[in-house]
Amino acid sequence: MESESPTETKKGKSKTPKKEKESILKQKSPAEFFAENKNIAGFDNPGKCLYTTVRELVENALDSAEAISELPVIEITIEEIVKSKFNSMIGLVDRERVDEELYDDYETAKAREKRLAKEARAQEIQAKNAALGKKVKEHAVSKSSKGRGEASFYRVTCRDNGRGMPHDDIPNMFGRVLSGTKYGLKQTRGKFGLGAKMALIWSKMSTGLPIEISSSMRGQNYLSFCRLDIDIHRNIPHIHLHEKRDNKDKWHGAEIQVVIEGNWTTYRSKILHYMRQMAVITPYAQFLFKFVSDAPDKNVTIKFARRTDVMPPVPVETKHHPSSVDILLIKRLIAETSKQNLMQFLQHEFVNIGKPLAERLIGEMGPEFSPKMAVKSLTDQQIVRIHQLFRQAKFDDPSGDCLSPAGEYNLRLGIIKELHPDMVATYSGSAQVFEGHPFIVEAGVSVGGKDVKQGLNIFRFANRIPLLFEQGGDVVTRTALKRISWNNYKINQTQDKIGVFVSIVSTKIPFKGTGKEYIGDDISEIASAVKSAIQQCCIQLKSKIVKKMQAREQQERKRNLSKYIPDASNAVYNVLQEMAKSHASKKKRYEEGDADILQKVSDHLITKETLYEKLTQHVEKVDYEMALEYATQTGVREEPREDIYLQSLDGKGNFFDFHSPIFVFRLFL
C-alpha cells in the first residue's frame, strides 16, 4: 500500500478536529461589575434608577449634616429635560426621520385603520356606558403612541448644609466604586460605597454626561468645584475640571448635579412617598422638593417643614465583638493594630474584653500563647485557634451606646406631623444583639388620620431610612400581618385606619441584597423584638381605646335617658294627679311627706314642666359625675385640641435636654 505524499495530505481534508482557541483569563473592575449588574444596587429600570438616585443623594446629605450636628436643610430638584434640549446639551443635531419603516413605532396604513376602528368602537361603548350611568374605564394609550426608544431625561440636583468634602478627596469619593467613609463598624445609612457612584455609572450609561459637584467645608473661604465621570474598566475617576472658586457666602455643604435617564410618571408616587416617610423619621430636618417641567401644570413643589430642633445623638464607631469576627477580620485587625503584644491586642481591638478576661482567654488558648507574645508573629494555625475560642467562649453582649435611634419623641412627632392620627402610641426597646451586633427596635402604632387607608398601613425604616420595596418579605410586614392579634387590643384590622411604624437601627442591618430593600424574616432575635415593640404600642392604645369606648357609652346612656324624659315626666305627672284626687276625696290616706307633694300637684305647684326640668337636671348631674370620674382616671380633658409648635430660640446657648417619650424639656443655662 502506497503512502500518501505530503502534497496530497495538505490538499485532502484533514480528519483531525480543529483545536479550540484557548480561553483567556479576564478580570473586571468593581465599576464594570456593577455597571453590568446594576439591578443589585437598586437600578433596575429607568424609573427605579430615578428613585434610587434621589434616595441615595438625600441620605448622603442627611449623613453629612448630622455628622457635624447641623440641623439638615436639604433641597432636591428633579428637572425634566426634553429630547431636543438634551440633544443640544450634548451637541447633537436633531434629524428628521428618513426611513419611517425603520422605527419601532412605525404603523402601516392597514394597521392604523384597524387601530382607529378599534378606538372608535371603544369610545362608542364608553359613551353608551356613560349614558346608562355605568362606571367608565379610562381608555388605554395605544402602544404605538410612543416607541420604546423614546427616552426621558432628568437633571437631579441635591443641595445640603452638611460638612462638605475635602477638595482633594472629591474625585475618589465619586469616581471610584467601593471607596467611602462608611466602612467602619458604625451605624450609617449607607454601607457599600455605591450610592452616588451608581448614579454616576447610570448617567454614563444612559446619557454619557459627567456629574458636577460643588462643596465647601465649614470655615473654608473657597468652594471646590469638580466635573468628572468614571472610567468603568479601570474604576478610576476621569476628571474634566477640578478647581477652587470663591465662597463669598461662606456656605458649607455639598451640591450634586447629575443628568440621567428616568421615568417620573411611573415612579412619581414612590418618590413623593419616600420624601413623606423621610419627613416622618427625621422631623428635625427641612426638605424642599421640586419637580420642574416645561409644562407648568406638571410642576410639583412640596416643603416638609422642620417641627423640632432636637436631633438624635451622632452614632459613634465601635469595636468588634469577639463573637462577630471571622478569620479574615482577625488577620486584618492584626495587620492594622498599633498594639505590640497579644494582651494589648485583645483588650483594645475588641469590646467587652478586659484584662482579667484577656488573661483567661490566653490561658485557654494553649501553652504556645503568652500575654507578652508579639501579635504580629501569630501563625495561621494560632489565628484559627483564637477564632475557635471566640466562637465558643461566653462574652457579655455589646451595649447599644454606639447606636443612634430616632427616639420616641421624634418618632411620635413625625407621625403626628404627617398623618394627624386620632391617637398614637410609641415604644423604644432596649438594645439587643444578633451575631454580635447590637440593635434597637422602635415602634409606633397610630389609629385614624389624614390620607390613611383602611386596614394596615406599614412604614418600615432601617438606620433611619424608609424602605419602600419588597414589603411582603420584610420582617415588619410579616409580623404585623401574622403575629399580632389586633382584635385583642380592640383594633379592627380591616376597618380601622392603622399605621404601623417600625424603625430598626444597628451597626449591621441584615438587608437582603445590596439594594437595601428589606430585612429578612429569618433572624429570630429581630423578629421577636419587632413583635414585642408593636405589642407594647398596642397595649398603650388598648387602654386609650377602652376609655374612649367607656366615654362613648356614657354619652349614649345620656342620650337614651334624655330621649325618655318627656314620656317619663308625662307618665309620672298623670300618676300623681290620680293619687292627688284619691287623697282629696279621702279614699286613701298618705303619709305627711307624700301628702304635701300631692297637695302641690293639686295646687298646680308641681306641673309636667317641673318634672321635666327636674329629670333633665338629674340626668345632667349623673353625666357630670361620670365624666368627672373618667377625667380623673385618664388625667386629660377631652376638649378640642390644636397642635402648637414652639419655635426655636434665636442664638445659641448652653442647655441640657431631658428626654421623655412624649416631650423634651430643654433647660437653658
Known binding residues are: 60, 160, 181-182, 190-197, 516
d(CA 211, CA 202): 11
Rounded to whole angstroms, the Cα distance separating 232 from 31 reads: 5
Return left, alpha or beta for 255; rule: phi > 0 is left, psi -120 to 50 is alpha, else beta.
beta
- With 0-12 CB in 10 A as exposed, 13-18 as middle and 19+ as buried, what is 500? buried
Q: Write the single-letter amino acid at 84.
A: S
- Nearest residue to 496 via CA among 462, 461, 469, 456: 456
Query: What gap in Å lies between CA 194 and CA 34, rounded to an integer?
Result: 9
What pairs with residue 301 in β-bridges?
A: 290
Q: Specify which residues 99 forms β-bridges with.
A: none
Q: How far apart are CA 149 and CA 94, in angstroms?
A: 15
396 vs 323: CA distance, rounded Å: 10
DSSP assignments along 344-385, one per residue? HHHHHHBTT--HHHHHHHHHHH-TT--TTSBGGG--HHHHHH
DSSP string, 598-624: HHHHHTTSS-HHHHHHHHHHHHHHHHH
What is the number of other CB atoms lying within 10 angstroms of the CB of residue 475?
Answer: 24
User: How far is CA 467 from its chain centroid?
Assistant: 5
Beta strands, E only, 232-337: 236-246, 253-262, 286-292, 300-304
What region, left, alpha or beta, does residue 30 occupy, with left being phi > 0 and alpha being psi -120 to 50 degrees?
Answer: alpha
SS3 440: strand
Q: For the chain, how big is the Rg over CA atoms in Å?
A: 37
DSSP conformational letter for 519: B
Long-range contacts made by residues 590-596, C-beta under 8 angstroms, separation at least 24?
Answer: none
Q: Binding site for ATP: which residues?
A: 60, 160, 181-182, 190-197, 516
